[in-house]
Amino acid sequence: MGNTALIISVLVFAGITMISCGLYYYVILRNKRVALVDKIKHATDVSDLEEAKSGHPDKHNQDGSAGKHISTLLLQLGNIIKPKNEEEASQTRRDLVRAGYRKGSSIFLFYGVKFFIASLMIIVYVFYKVMILALIPDDIEIQGISNFSVLLYTVVGLLSGFYLPNLWLRFKIKDRQNKILEGFPDALDLMIVCVEAGMGLDAAIARTAKEMELSNKIISDEFKMVSLELRAGKLRRDALKNLAARIGLEDVNSLISLLIQTDKFGTSVAQALRVHSDAMREKRFQRAEELAAKLPVKLVFPLIVFIFPSIFVVLLGPAMIRISTTIFPILG
């Protein structure tokens, strides 16, 4: 029982982590369900009439009010701990935009979540010191752990919890960029069809945004943002540069530079789009070939750990049994 305190602290930390992950995924799935229900209600245009006839309160609004209070609290915390350095805040805001969070309050919510996760680690430490040690009988000797080691683990967990949202944000940006890379050649093909049909570049962008809404929602939203900026009176080159800054991909940056030069010198937009679309498809094919070439190297470890021992057992097992039944009795 020498490591009882350490085992209990690890179990408490694992339990709190699992509960937090469960709540996180529950909120995500619930938000998706609510969004789907709202979309169905908007499509049918019957929900308001049924709700008015039933006279029952909307449960989603009640749950939303609780979520709104939590969001407000996180926003206030994020406003307090937001970095004063404008360059660092601008970098975080740009990363949030590339992850798909365009609201101005997203940066405050992000830092509020960081503060909440870091505080959760402190709560685990306090819970361990106050509750867990009180539950351990006095006759059990605690060995292998000291106050300094517990404090060190807590500080490490505190720093990990504070920078964990940054790691999640990087994964979110990478996943979003991969989805954009998958659907961007198709979007360029639609733009080519629209331009060759006689549409201007602005109308082609708006039409592509509408057609890509079901197949690739991310590209559709980005093109809609470009269309809104153009309607608001922003110059085309500025709107396209904003698109490149929001996505943060080298292929998109090359396309934007190509479109700006095409618009400047008056060359064929359709030809430029076709060339770039073919180049993006070629790069996508090369990335697939690269992943296929890396596969044998990645299979070495599973083969050595899982496959080869089984083969050795099958091949050498009968021989070892024969040796043990014939030679060992003679030697004995």
Residuewise pLDDT in 10s, the chain (332 residues) = 445 655 666 666 667 777 777 777 777 777 777 777 666 665 544 444 344 344 444 444 444 555 666 777 777 777 777 777 788 888 888 999 989 888 888 888 888 888 888 777 777 766 766 666 655 555 455 444 556 666 676 777 677 777 888 888 999 999 999 999 888 888 888 999 999 888 888 899 999 999 988 888 999 999 999 999 999 989 989 999 999 999 988 888 988 998 888 888 888 888 888 888 888 888 888 888 888 888 888 888 888 888 888 888 888 888 888 877 877 677 66
- Three-class secondary structure of residue 18 per DSSP: helix
Which residue reads 């406003």 in tokens? 79
What's the CA gap between 332 and 321, in Å, rounded? 16
CA–CA distance, 122 with 115 (Å, rounded to integer) = 11
- 189 phi, psi to nearest 5 deg: -65, -40
Which pLDDT score is estimated for 226?
Answer: 92
Measured between alpha carbons, how far is 225 from 247 in angstroms, rounded to an integer?
12
pLDDT, residue 229, reads 92
As a whole number of angstroms, the distance between CA 64 and CA 68 comes to 6
Nearest of 64, 166, 81, 68 to residue 119 by alpha carbon: 81
pLDDT at 7: 64
82-88, long-range: CB within 8 Å, 24+ apart, which pairs? 82/107, 82/108, 82/111, 83/111
Q: What's the pLDDT at 148?
A: 66
Alpha-carbon distance 35 to 33, whole Å? 5
For residue range 188-232, what is the model confidence (pLDDT) as tens digits? 889 999 998 888 888 999 999 999 888 889 999 999 999 999 999
Non-local (6+) Cβ contacts of 176 within 8 A are 98, 99, 100, 218
Q: In this predicted structure, what is the pLDDT of residue 147? A: 62
Task: Give me 188's structure tokens.
Answer: 């360029």
Q: How many CB atoms lie within 10 A of CB 257?
A: 14
As a residue count, the chain comes to: 332
pLDDT the model gives residue 132? 61
